[in-house]
């Protein structure tokens, strides 16, 4: 450990006999992940669980001055008596050359609750990780989440700039989504949306930026058990592909239909097959691509209302909609109908206490927007909106003091499910995969759970079939060697009401990270992109097609044209 700065080696030696979880956090944690000291530090920040505060006091005895601080004693300099500290709280400990600041953190079972928010709970094993300095260290995405909470100081920005390139796609996606729950207008969000796989997810693949252990394809025994799959297709490896579509190949109908585009969030581009795509004008942010329509938004500035922009697949303007709010947080386009939801900010855009929920609205054709779900008191974060294939039900994922999925029927009647994570909506069933900690897939109808599924992989794509009766669900499964690379993409066709697996296709992902493109896929053909970053420096990416009926990866490859 000779290359590690002395304050860190001394702390590691000091804490080596402490039999409770602890970790390095704050500025030294940034240095630990970077692998070098980036700036001077006045102390060493550490973290232990709130429940272990007395164990820490008993550990730091001879020669230590220990101050316990909470809302009842925020600045006392006397020796801590052992009075149980409330929350939030921290402990200053000084002895000889040591100047330590212990943050007391919440936990819920085996989960670490970040920022006092149950929605941001993650397994301790993910939060506490060995850094390049071989010291238990707060995960880099969590370091930045804590730094994002208050006013961004120059050293906070420097830490963000240093750690951002080190985050993988899952970490960036998780950090982006976590910051949105706290500060929807945070200045770091633009950078998180621009950089990396986790932020450049396909627009309609909801939640692909969150690193989640997820689904097994079998129902929990406590829920309605799904019927075992009557037909399971063995794994099919990708074959050598030709760029030419042979006459009569069923995928040619897929390529030639109107749904021939998908959006890439963060860089705000629309890609098309065999036709030039387009980049949105500066200031417009991509929200949705569906059939032959593209939905974007221009957020309101300095108190002005936002504008929603509908374009066709050539990029031509179809119409603009006055949103009646400053920040539409999410939106979808379905034919001539545009659904959107968001908030108004107060005079201080960083003060969420002054933000106001504006509810959910729909603009039908050229008619003025009309309410779908009324606003409620306080701030809200709208993560997703979806509409059933038959158009009769609208699903909304909304968070405030608590998160829930709300289903709105044709007569305006609502069913609220106290579980967030809407990712697919059939005519009768809502499929939910919660963010952050709750990653099991739940099927809900009329507010009641029908079935649930779990996997050891990462959910990457899901959509309802056009008949409104089935769900296509895909998961990237972990590599068999226990590494971080993925082994295969599992694509399942599920009966929405029973959870029965009608068809399973396994596609190797050893040479490419395959991602489902819902806006190109049909009930039978599932379209895959061999990267979540099209037109990166490596050039155009290939589109592949899985035939669910035949259970094979078709011998077809098409290239995406560059965006002008």
Q: What is the mean pLDDT of residues 233-249?
A: 35
In contact, 406 and 415? CB cutoff 8 Å:
yes
CATH 2.130.10.120 residue ranges of the chain are 250-559
In contact, 24 and 131? CB cutoff 8 Å:
yes
**Does residue 160 have a pLDDT over 50?**
yes
**Residues composing the chain:** 564
Query: Quick one: DSSP state of residue 202?
Result: B
Percent helix / strand / coil, the chain, rounded to 5: 15, 35, 45
Rg (CA), the chain: 25
**Does residue 164 or residue 198 have the better pLDDT?**
164
Residue 556 is predicted with a pLDDT of 62
Among the ranges given (220-224, 315-319, 367-371), the one the predictor scored with the smallest mean pLDDT = 220-224
From residue 105, alpha-carbon distances to 75, 120, 287, 449 in Å are 19, 13, 36, 33
Separation CA 485–CA 482 (nearest Å): 8
3-state secondary structure of 71: coil
Task: pLDDT band for 537, please (50, 70, 90 cuts).
Answer: very low
Q: What is the mean pLDDT of residues 89-117?
A: 86
* Tokens read off for 130: 């060995």
Residue 465 is predicted with a pLDDT of 85
The Cβ of residue 429 has, within 10 Å, a number of other Cβ atoms equal to 26
Separation CA 346–CA 531 (nearest Å): 39
Phi, psi of 352 (to 5 degrees): -70, -20
Residue 91 is predicted with a pLDDT of 92
CATH 3.30.460.40 residue ranges of the chain are 6-143
Among the ranges given (46-60, 79-93, 281-295, 538-552), the one the predictor scored with the smallest mean pLDDT = 538-552
In contact, 215 and 453? CB cutoff 8 Å:
yes
Instruction: Enter the CATH code of domain 250-559.
Output: 2.130.10.120
Q: What is the mean pLDDT of residues 530-553?
A: 64
Q: What is the mean pLDDT of residues 29-35?
A: 91
**Does residue 101 or residue 254 have the better pLDDT?**
101
Strand partners, 445: 448
* Tokens read off for 432: 């939910």
Query: Quick one: DSSP state of residue 534?
Result: T
**Does residue 243 have a pLDDT over 50?**
no
pLDDT above 90 covers a percentage of the chain that reads 24
Task: pLDDT band for 302, please (50, 70, 90 cuts).
Answer: low
Residue 548 is predicted with a pLDDT of 84
In contact, 68 and 51? CB cutoff 8 Å:
no
Nearest residue to 17 via CA among 58, 54, 47, 63:
58
Query: Quick one: DSSP state of residue 419?
Result: -
Task: pLDDT band for 15, please (50, 70, 90 cuts).
Answer: very high
**Does residue 271 or residue 325 have the better pLDDT?**
325
Per the confidence metrics, is the pTM higher than 0.85?
no
Task: pLDDT band for 210, please (50, 70, 90 cuts).
Answer: very low
3-state secondary structure of 55: helix
Contacts of 76 (CB under 8 A, 6+ apart): 67, 68, 69
From residue 150, alpha-carbon distances to 87, 174, 181, 182, 379 in Å are 18, 19, 14, 10, 17
Query: Quick one: DSSP state of residue 158?
Result: H
Q: Looking at domain 6-143, which of 3.40.720.10, 3.30.460.40, 2.40.30.200, 3.40.50.1370 is its CATH number?
A: 3.30.460.40
């Amino acid at each position: 450990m000779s290359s590690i700065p002395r304050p860190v080696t001394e702390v590691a030696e000091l804490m080596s006999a402490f039999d409770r979880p602890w970790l390095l956090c704050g500025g030294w944690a940034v240095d630990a992940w970077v692998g070098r000291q980036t700036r001077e530090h006045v102390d060493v920040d550490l973290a232990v669980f709130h429940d272990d505060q007395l164990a820490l006091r008993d550990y730091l005895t001879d020669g230590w001055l220990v101050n316990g601080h909470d809302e009842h004693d925020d600045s006392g300099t006397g020796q801590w008596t052992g009075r149980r500290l409330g929350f939030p709280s921290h402990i200053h400990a000084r002895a000889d050359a040591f100047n330590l600041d212990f943050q007391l953190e919440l936990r819920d079972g085996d989960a670490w609750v970040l920022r006092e928010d149950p929605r941001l709970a993650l397994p301790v094993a993910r939060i506490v990780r060995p850094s390049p300095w071989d010291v238990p260290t707060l995960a880099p995405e969590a370091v930045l989440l804590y730094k994002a909470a208050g006013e961004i100081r120059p050293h906070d920005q420097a830490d963000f700039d240093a750690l951002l390139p080190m985050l993988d796609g899952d970490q960036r996606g998780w950090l982006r989504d976590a910051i949105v729950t706290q500060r929807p207008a945070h200045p770091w969000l633009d950078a998180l949306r621009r950089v990396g796989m986790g932020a450049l997810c396909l627009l309609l693949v909801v939640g692909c930026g969150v690193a989640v252990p997820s689904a097994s394809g079998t129902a929990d025994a406590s829920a309605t058990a799904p019927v075992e799959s009557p037909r399971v297709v063995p794994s099919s490896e990708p074959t050598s592909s030709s760029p030419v579509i042979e006459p009569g190949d069923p995928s040619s109908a897929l390529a030639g239909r109107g749904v021939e585009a998908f959006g890439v969030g963060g860089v705000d581009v629309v890609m098309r097959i065999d036709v030039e795509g387009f980049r949105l004008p500066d200031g417009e942010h991509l929200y949705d691509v569906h059939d032959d329509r593209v939905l974007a938004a221009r957020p309101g500035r300095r108190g002005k209302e936002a504008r929603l922009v509908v374009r066709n697949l050539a990029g031509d303007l179809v119409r603009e909609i006055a949103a009646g709010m400053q920040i539409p947080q999410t939106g979808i386009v379905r034919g001539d109908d545009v659904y959107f939801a968001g908030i108004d900010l107060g005079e201080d855009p960083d003060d969420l206490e002054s933000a106001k929920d504006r509810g959910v609205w729909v603009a039908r054709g050229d008619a003025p927007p009309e309410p779908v779900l009324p606003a409620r008191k306080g701030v809200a974060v709208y993560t997703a909106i979806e509409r059933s294939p038959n158009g009769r039900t609208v699903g909304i994922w909304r968070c405030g003091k608590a998160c829930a999925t709300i289903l709105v029927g044709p007569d305006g009647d609502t069913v609220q499910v106290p579980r967030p994570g809407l990712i697919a909506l059939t005519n009768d069933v809502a499929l939910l995969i919660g963010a952050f900690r709750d990653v099991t897939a739940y099927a809900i109808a009329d507010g009641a759970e029908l079935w649930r599924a779990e996997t050891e992989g990462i959910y990457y794509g899901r959509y309802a079939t056009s008949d409104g009766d089935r769900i296509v669900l895909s998961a990237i499964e972990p590599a068999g060697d226990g590494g971080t690379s993925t082994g295969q993409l599992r694509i399942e066709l599920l009966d929405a009401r029973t959870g029965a697996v009608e068809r399973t296709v396994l596609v190797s992902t050893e040479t490419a990270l395959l991602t489902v493109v819902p806006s190109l896929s049909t009930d039978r053909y599932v379209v895959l992109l061999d990267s979540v970053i099209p037109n990166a420096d490596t050039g155009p990416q290939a589109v592949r097609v899985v035939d669910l009926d035949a259970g094979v990866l078709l011998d077809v490859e098409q290239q995406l044209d560059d965006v002008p």
